[in-house]
Structure 1
């Protein structure tokens, strides 16, 4: 009987030995797709939370954004003014030209031969002949002294050759051309209209450099404003940051909401700066149009277009992001759980 029971127990024990043992807790592997989706979800959540916090304190947020807007609007207004100034003078002949006033006793055939010789000169790009009659008519229209000039017995104006040099950047070469023309027998006087072009170019370059310098200075001011604002946000959320770090949150994880806050301050500041520019243009466009029409011009003031819109908002957002990154890099290291 005992022998039978022992034989019956052997298969059971053998089956027990063949049964696979439980390995306990199983470690789940997270794929790259899941990690990427989790990262995107957290960014969306943080962006929404940053916007909610921005509008939760409208007065403080508006004051900070307005300070950023004023700092950005000043160099942008200077740059826009330079662009409008260049548009205003674009209709003028910006190329230096040489005016050769011919001797009144010069014969027409000699003048034509002189003009043909100048046209064949490789240093001269264009030669325009203005007769005494055409010069008088142009002077009457420009001066409004037609009645006075009509009483003159003879035309006091000489014939003129207008020369446009090919190379306008070499002032020494232009001066040599002028000296050669002054030595010609048919020329009575030679004038190089270069001074006003040089002054205009220097004035424009001065304005551009001032605009660039002011933009750099005020961009630094925008960064400092955002740094101070984000520092206050960090101090107000110190306990929350300590709790997050206690449960294993990294500095990158803690930094993310503040980066989005700096992005919001910069973007809304850039939007307000564009609105300030647009308001200034609308305020000044009427008087400027009236002034230009009084001079017989149809010039209108150009406002900030899409390029200014995208540039101000994008640039301000980057400045806000940089300021927030600087603030968090400095102050988050000082907040560590003991």
Structure 2
């Protein structure tokens, strides 16, 4: 028969300490729940003022969220584009097709090129007519006004090498203009970078606005409860105890305002989904406009809530020191 080891007896004092610590933890948690619910109920006492404050917070939080989402969608839309640099050589209109073909064969021997494609005048006219609204007008002309075009693919994609190659090809007598096709991609990336930086600056300014709005609102609430705070301090309440309901007010302002902001961003993106999809179809892209994903939505809500709590903390920290019983 197996003998069970004798259980070690727990001292009565340790049991009382453990139970007392558990009761204090439950009481602390219960108190915070009650204060949070009371703060939420107080917001409903002045529904018009509360809704106006929440509307301001929602707009302030929605603007940077909307801009970040739009910039991210444009970046995703441009990922599928061909970003390999190309140089378009527009030949003079008096250059004959035979000379254009001979020039393209000469360029195939160029060591700085990885590919050459000739688009003769007739082919260029056909392609232009298929994509242009002026096809009917072109048919009325006696001669083809379009030049032959030679598309070349540089072997070296570095900026300095591309510019040097562009200048070299531009110096060919038959070439009217050498256009580096990568320039518009670079401009687009520069615009996107500028838009992203602008979104960060705007987000910082609007975050400051959220802090000011929440802080001013809680300051007004604190002044309206000045007598109540004085009585609480007379009976021994600490600043942390007095500050707690105002912090939860900031919490609710930030949380509800950020939820409204999330809805505003999603609705705004839904309204432009149709035109965005039509634009993607014109570029033969399967791109679909994306709204805020789970991570972005939670980031927006967490940021708004944090700003609300911070605004309440900064506002009460300064004004509570001025409210002291004489």
TM-score by length of 1: 0.72
Secondary structure of the corresponding residue to residue 177 of structure 1:
helix
Query: CA deviation digits over 1:138-166, x for unaligned, max 9?
Result: 33433366675799889965462331565
Q: Please give the alpha-carbon distance, in whole angstroms, between the structure 2 residues aligned to 1:107 and 1:65.
A: 67
Q: Say if 2:157 is the partner of 1:167.
A: yes
- Aligned residue number for residue 203 of structure 1: 191
Q: Say if 2:314 is the partner of 1:326.
A: yes
Shift of residue 287, structure 1, vs aligned partner: 5.2
Secondary structure of the corresponding residue to residue 291 of structure 2:
coil
Q: Please give the alpha-carbon distance, in whole angstroms, between the structure 1 residues aligned to 2:149 and 2:59.
A: 56
Shift of residue 213, structure 1, vs aligned partner: 1.8
1:51-200 equivalences under 5 Å are 51-87=40-76, 89-90=78-79, 92-100=81-89, 104-105=97-98, 111=104, 114-115=107-108, 118=111, 121=112, 127=115, 129-132=117-120, 135=124, 137-143=126-132, 148=138, 158=148, 160-164=150-154, 166-168=156-158, 170=159, 172-182=160-170, 190-200=178-188
Secondary structure of the corresponding residue to residue 190 of structure 1:
strand
- Aligned residue number for residue 215 of structure 2: 227
- Aligned residue number for residue 240 of structure 2: 252
Q: Please give the alpha-carbon distance, in whole angstroms, between the structure 2 residues aligned to 1:236 and 1:29.
A: 42
Shift of residue 335, structure 1, vs aligned partner: 2.0
* Residue ranges of structure 2 left out of the alignment (5+ in a row): 1-15
Query: CA deviation digits over 1:174-212, x for unaligned, max 9?
Result: 211223445679977532234433432332233222222
- Aligned residue number for residue 275 of structure 1: 263
Q: Is the 8 A contact 1:231 1:331 kept in 2?
A: yes
Within the candidate set 201, 205, 213, 2:201 is matched to 213
Q: Is the 8 A contact 2:83 2:182 kept in 1?
A: no
Q: Is the 8 A contact 1:130 1:159 kept in 2?
A: yes
* Residue ranges of structure 1 left out of the alignment (5+ in a row): 1-27
Mark the CA change 1:175 to 1:36 in structure 2 (over 3 Å): closer, same or farther: same
Q: Is the 8 A contact 2:118 2:149 kept in 1?
A: yes
Shift of residue 39, structure 1, vs aligned partner: 2.9
Shift of residue 88, structure 1, vs aligned partner: 5.1
Shift of residue 271, structure 1, vs aligned partner: 1.2
- Alpha-carbon RMSD across the aligned residues, in angstroms, is 3.8
Mark the CA change 1:109 to 1:242 in structure 2 (over 3 Å): closer, same or farther: same
> Which protein shows a greater Rg?
1
Q: Please give the alpha-carbon distance, in whole angstroms, between the structure 1 residues aligned to 2:28 and 2:154.
A: 64
Query: CA deviation digits over 1:207-232, x for unaligned, max 9?
Result: 22222222211111110111111112
Shift of residue 115, structure 1, vs aligned partner: 3.1
Q: Is the 8 A contact 2:90 2:147 kept in 1?
A: no
Q: Please give the alpha-carbon distance, in whole angstroms, between the structure 2 residues aligned to 1:145 and 1:68.
A: 51
Q: Is the 8 A contact 2:39 2:248 kept in 1?
A: yes
Secondary structure of the corresponding residue to residue 334 of structure 1:
coil
Q: Please give the alpha-carbon distance, in whole angstroms, between the structure 2 residues aligned to 1:330 and 1:166.
A: 62
TM-score by length of 2: 0.74
Query: CA deviation digits over 1:260-299, x for unaligned, max 9?
Result: 1101001111111122223333334445556776888776
Q: Please give the alpha-carbon distance, in whole angstroms, between the structure 2 residues aligned to 1:76 and 1:153.
A: 54
